[in-house]
Each structure stands twice: as structure tokens, then as C-alpha cells.
């Protein structure tokens, strides 16, 4: 998976499965574009991603998470629950504003 921390007034953490970068998904009126310019970050193992997400939640960050592996890591990190997950064309995603 890929993880990128965009530092600003309120940090934004972009996490996605590496194989989804550059793809676009549409279903009805919904669309999800996994833009390389936003999501392409550093490669991370699940353990590394979990640690970064746990650290960033303490910094009051927001999170954009796309893909099953990334969603699973976020659940293990304790920042999302199953109830908040949506899907477009079977691709799970979550936006977390803490």
C-alpha cells in the first residue's frame, strides 16, 4: 500500500492500495478517482501504515483511505469501523474527518 502525509494546518493522510493508483471508478452518480498526484506516496507495509495512522490520529489529521488492504489496516489501527465504509464498483473507501 501507499501512504502520503500532506502537511498543512490540518494534516491530510492519503492511504491506498498501490494497484488502485491512477484508476477511476463510477457507479450511478458516484465517482472515485484515485489520482496519482494525491495518493502516490511512500510504499508501506501494513504494520508501518498502522503505526503512521495511529500517530496521525493524535495530530488531529483527516484521512482518505481507498482499497481493501488499506481499509483493513485502518480498522486495525482503530481509526475506522466497518459501518463507515462505502464502496464504488466494489472498491471500498473511507473519508475520516476527526
| Average pLDDT score over residue span 70-88 | 95
Number of domains observed in the structure of the chain: 1
| Average pLDDT score over residue span 38-67 | 95
In the chain, % of residues over pLDDT 70: 99
Range of the structural domain that residue 70 is part of: 2-97
| Average pLDDT score over residue span 29-45 | 96
Residue in 86, 92, 5, 3 with CA at minimum distance from that of residue 49: 3
Query: Which residues on neighbouring strands pair with residue 89, listed in sequence order?
Result: none
| Average pLDDT score over residue span 26-53 | 96
CATH number at residue 72: 3.30.1860.10
| Average pLDDT score over residue span 65-85 | 95
Specify the pLDDT at position 9.
86
pTM listed for this prediction: 0.94
Which pLDDT band holds residue 98 (cuts at 50, 70, 90)? low
Strands (E), 21-88: 24-27, 30-33, 42-43, 62-66, 86-88
Residue 79 has pLDDT above 80, yes or no: yes
Amino acid at each position: 500500500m501507499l501512504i502520503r502525509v500532506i502537511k498543512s494546518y490540518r494534516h491530510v493522510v492519503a492511504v491506498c492500495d498501490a494497484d488502485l493508483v491512477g484508476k477511476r471508478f463510477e457507479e450511478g452518480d458516484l465517482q472515485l478517482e484515485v489520482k496519482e498526484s494525491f495518493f502516490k506516496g511512500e510504499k508501506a507495509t501494513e504494520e508501518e501504515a498502522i503505526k503512521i495512522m495511529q500517530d496521525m490520529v493524535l495530530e488531529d489529521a483527516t484521512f482518505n483511505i481507498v482499497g481493501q488492504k488499506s481499509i483493513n489496516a485502518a480498522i486495525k489501527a482503530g481509526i475506522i469501523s466497518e459501518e463507515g465504509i462505502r464502496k464504488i464498483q466494489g472498491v471500498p473507501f473511507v473519508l475520516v474527518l476527526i
